[in-house]
Amino acid sequence: MVRRRAPPAEPSSTDWHMMTQAERERARGTGSWSWQRELVTCAALGVLATYLAGFVHPQSVLARSVAALAGGFWWFPWQRARPPAHLEPVVTTAHVATAHELVLANLGITALTTDLFSFSNTLELLRLSNNGVSSVKKDIFAGLTNLRMLYLDRNKIDSLSSQAFRKLQKLQHLDLSGNMLTKISSSVFKGLHNLEMLSLGGNRLKTLPDRAFEDLLRLEHLSLNYNEIERLPPDAFAGLGNLKRLFLYQNKLADLPDDIFNPLASLQVLALSAAGAACAPNALHAHFLK
């Protein structure tokens, strides 16, 4: 008794998103996207076009044949280049419950809903870069209790809830760069005791609240470059005893308090523009030349 082998299963739209380029190339040879079928279809269309054209201009068979083949082979790579309808990109959370990394970048997402990630407690990395998100609301990431890396860069965020990140106790890396923030709450980073890297560069911040980073006891890298910061309060960097790298260049600093860098006992790199350094000779002397 001879058993016929079952045809390979076609990848789902979710599987397609998770495939590497090599895996996608292999998928092109399975199911309804078989290149053999496309080639036969291409040839059939060419023959049909030649046959039909014979009734119109019977004297130009050669020209018609060349045109038909050219048209068929134009159609062939175009069909190969685009995925079939069942593999078109979609935003889905069908497999998020067991995923460790989720990339939803460059998808034009404009809003985050409270239930989108509510059951994804295994997720460790979430990338929402380069979308159109305009705000981050209270407890929007509440279900992501194991999240370690969160990328919200290059969106249109102009407001952050003071309790947007409070449930992310294991978060180590938070990227909010390239947004439209003009201010942040003094409590927006409260409870993020394991955060090691925070990027707020490329926003429109004009100042910082007192002790905004006080709970970030393990923070090593803080980027505030390319903002519009004109002044900083004396306690702006309170609690950052572990900070090693601070980037403040490309701002509009006119003055800095003399003791502003005193809490930064571990600081190794301080990046200031020429104007920023000129407005803070006492602060620099007090910290680096004492």
Model confidence at 2: pLDDT above 60:
no
Looking at per-residue confidence, does 270 or 40 come out higher? 270
**pLDDT for residue 114:** 73
Distance CA 263, CA 236 (A): 10
Q: Give 226 or 78, the one with higher predicted confidence.
A: 226
Residue 7 lies in a domain: no
Confidence of residue 53 (pLDDT cuts 50, 70, 90): low
In a domain, 284, yes or no: no
Q: Which range in 70-74, 110-114, 144-148, 277-281 is most confidently predicted, on average pLDDT?
A: 144-148
Residues comprising the chain, all counted: 290
pLDDT at residue 264 in the model: 95
Q: Domain range holding 66?
A: 33-87
Is the pLDDT at 19 greater than 70? The verdict is no
Q: What is the pLDDT of residue 16?
A: 41
First CA to last CA across the chain, in angstroms? 90
Please state which of the ranges 113-122, 156-165, 179-188 shows the lowest mean pLDDT.
113-122
What's the number of CA atoms in the CB half-sphere (13 Å) around residue 216? 29
**Looking at 41-55, 215-229, 258-272, which range is the least confident one?**
41-55
pTM of the model: 0.66
- Answer yes or no: is 63 within a domain: yes
pLDDT confidence bin for 283, thresholds 50/70/90: low
Extract the tokens encoding 258: 């003399």
Whether residue 36 is predicted with pLDDT greater than 60 in this model: the reply is no
Residue 51 dihedral angles phi and psi, to the nearest 5°: -65, -45
Averaged confidence pLDDT in the chain: 76
CB atoms within 10 A of CB 46: 22
Is 65 a domain residue?
Answer: yes
Tell me whether residue 195 is in a domain: no
Q: 81 in a domain, yes or no?
A: yes
* pLDDT greater at residue 130 or residue 6: 130
pLDDT of residue 282: 56
Q: How confident is the model at residue 5 (pLDDT cuts 50, 70, 90)?
A: very low
Taking a C-beta distance cutoff of 8 angstroms, is the pair 105, 130 a contact?
Answer: yes
pLDDT > 90 fraction of the chain, expressed in percent and rounded: 51
In total, how many domains does the chain have? 1
Rounded CA-CA distance 112/135 in Å is 8
Single-letter residue type at 231: R
Structural domain includes residue 53: yes
State how far the Cα of 200 lies from the Cα of 175, in Å rounded to an integer.
Answer: 7
68 vs 270: CA distance, rounded Å: 67
In this model, does residue 77 exceed pLDDT 80?
A: no
pLDDT computed for residue 254 by the predictor: 82
Whole-number percent of the chain with pLDDT over 70: 59
Residue 47, domain member (yes or no): yes
216 pLDDT more than 60: yes
Is residue 238 within 8 Å of residue 217, measured between CB atoms? no
What is the pLDDT confidence band of residue 135, given thresholds at 50, 70 and 90? very high
125's CB contacts (< 8 A; 6+ apart) are 100, 101, 102, 147, 148, 149
Lowest-confidence segment of 41-50, 198-207, 254-263, 278-287 by average pLDDT? 278-287
What's the chain look like in SS3?
CCCCCCCCCCCCHHHHHHCCHHHHHHHCCCHHHCHHHHHHHHHHHHHHHHHHHCCCCCCCHHHHHHHHHHHHHHHHHHHHHCCCHHHCCCCCCCCHHHCCEEECCCCCCCCCCCCCCCCCCCCCEEECCCCCCCEECCCCCCCCCCCCEEECCCCCCCEECCCCCCCCCCCCEEECCCCCCCCCCCCCCCCCCCCCEEECCCCCCCCCCCCCCCCCCCCCEEECCCCCCCCCCCCCCCCCCCCCEEECCCCCCCCCCCCCCCCCCCCCEEECCHHHHHCCHHHHHHHHCC
| Cα dihedral sign, 111-113-114-116 | negative
Check residue 121 and give its pLDDT.
Answer: 81
Among 146, 140, 137, which residue's Cα sits nearest to residue 168? 146
| Mean pLDDT to the nearest integer, 100-120 | 84
